[in-house]
Amino acid sequence: MTPKPTLAVVGATGAVGSVMLQMLTHHADVWGEIRLLASPRSAGRKAAVRGEECEILALDEEALEGVDLALFLVPESVAARWAPIAATKGAVVVDTSAAFRADPDVPLVVPETNAHAARVRPRGIVASPGCTTLALVVAVGALHAEFGLSELVVTAQQAASGAGAGQAGVDALRAQLGLVAGHGDLGTHPGDVRRAVGENTGPFPGPLALNVLPWSGTAGADGASSEEERVRDETRRILALPALRVAATCVRVPVVTGHSVSVHARFERPVPLDRAHEILATTPGVVLYDDPAAGDFPTPADVVGTDPAWVGRVRRSMDDERALDFFVCADNLRKGAALNALQIAESVVTYL
């Protein structure tokens, strides 16, 4: 009998790593040894996976020896250094950071949409898109396959735990909520929320409690942010539409976990609304939850902790028979990071 492959989880103690360990416990057990790796300061700690307590090992070259597949759930700088080393040692790397998403020799994969792309890995690395793209692209990709996507306008409402903010973003939001609680008149005068929060903004450019911030990421070209550029570039790569017109605005909102995206998608052909509903209702990885008259539509507070992208408010654009408007929510730590990486790994393992 062929031995089961050895899996390394790099970044096992982080927010996404913790979710990954839960998923490995509940998904089909296709792995042999599961090796948990993290920074030296976490070495020696224990974490549970598959019902067993496993010791955390420091990420170094020795810890990567004999690994068949490595899941990298770490910041971009760590992945950029260590993922090529793991690949050189013979592991297939699945990376959730932005380090390799634009590399033409690294496939960018969403299994429900372009699983085949993971089979060709010139550098031994497969990249997983950002959490906003992942909330969006499964639903958009299914509609594109039927109607031919020509233009995309999206506003992403990103949770505090998203992107580089991570646990620091969650901690900052919770601290700010404590500072504004009990002040019944806050939010009624210019600057009052900012004064109440003071310097406790954490990784954000301003107060997030009782507020929204129309900025996420770092400065890009022509006034765009890096997060907005990534939504465009990643969607183009995954759908193999290099000239797709994409307008994206990323807004940080006072939600702990769960990204939402308001979508205006224009297609090459008219879109019958009943056919759009049928496609979304039968697409793997998508749940259609769409009866607004009854109050049934997805919100981040309702979908957190679940795996699918939830889609609602689906309607044909009032002024364009070729366009659809809809709203999609997904847990940015699950489908937006851990789940997609694990799905890639489980599809790749059949070819190891």
Q: For residue 293, count CB atoms less than 10 angstroms from its CB and return exposed for 0-12, middle for 13-18, buried for 19 or more.
A: exposed
Cβ proximity of 327 and 295 under 8 Å:
no
Cβ proximity of 246 and 133 under 8 Å:
no
Among the listed residues 54, 131, 250, 329, the single catalytic one is 131
213-221 own/partner pairs: CB under 8 Å, 24+ apart: 213/251, 213/252, 214/249, 214/250, 214/251, 215/250, 215/251, 215/252, 216/156, 216/158, 216/162, 216/163, 216/250, 216/251, 216/252, 217/163, 217/164, 217/250
Half-sphere exposure of 33 (CA within 13 A, CB side): 13
Among the listed residues 54, 144, 259, 329, the single catalytic one is 259
Is 329 a known active-site residue? no
CA dist 337 → 132, 201, 268, 341, 344 (Å) = 10, 25, 31, 6, 11
Is 189 a known active-site residue? no
**Which residue, among 90, 134, 138, 54, has the nearest Cα to 341 in the 3D structure?**
134
* Catalytic positions: 131, 259
